[in-house]
Amino acid sequence: MSDSSSSVVPASDEDWLVIIDPQAIFADPATSPWGSPLWSATVPRIVDLAHAYGRERTVITRFVAMPELGGAWASYYEEWPFALVPGDDPVYAVVPEVAGLADHVVTAGTFGKWNADLRAIVGEQPHLTLAGVSTDCCVIATALPAADAGATIRVVADACAGSTPENHDTAIAAMSLFAPQITIV
């Protein structure tokens, strides 16, 4: 498989594209401290992938603050109080370039999106192709538990945006250690 997302196609009729957290809050470092400097270069690649998979085989995930989760999330939101806004706040909106490219949307208050809502759409041990933001947070936090549960994972490296170029590369390298359950394309 080429290392360019423009040549990544569904591995089979059972393959799903999961676009992780393509939201305003992650799209621009000037707007949000969570914004990725890699995001603007990533968006066209994500759009190409969504067109290759089609709306019916694409899932968009959204992160929203859920302080009621308690535990370590309480100290997390003490550090990031700007994120404590309702889930329908514009900062949590899916970016316009990606909005409407999927028939399925999963919203969660955790980094990882491998949850019951996503499994209800894609199945318990699906083939997933992952793209999105942030490589070093929500992408890796989705890939590892999904693979551990038996899902077959492809991560499209150039369709993922990390918090920094170095953190992106580190997360890609870490996920590559989990081959063959996780492959990097």
**pLDDT tens digit string along 109-148?**
999 999 999 999 999 999 999 999 999 999 999 999 999 9
Cα–Cα distance for residue pair 109/2, rounded to 1 Å = 34
175 forms bridges with which residues in the sheet? Answer: none
**pLDDT tens digit string along 14-69?**
899 999 999 999 998 988 999 999 999 999 999 999 999 999 999 999 999 999 99
> Chain centroid to CA 58: how far?
12
Evaluate if pTM is beyond 0.85.
yes
61 forms bridges with which residues in the sheet? Answer: 20, 106
| Phi, psi torsion values for 75, nearest 5 degrees | -70, -30
Using alpha carbons, select from 127, 82, 102 the residue that is nearest to residue 22: 102
Q: Scanning the structure block, which residue is given the tokens 């799903």?
A: 16
pLDDT in the model for residue 117: 98
Mean per-residue pLDDT for 161-181?
98
Does 3.30.930.10 match the CATH number of domain 5-184?
no
What is each CA distance from 134 to 13, 25, 55, 124, in whole angstroms?
Answer: 27, 11, 22, 24
Above 80 in pLDDT, residue 12? no
DSSP H/E element including 146: helix 140-148
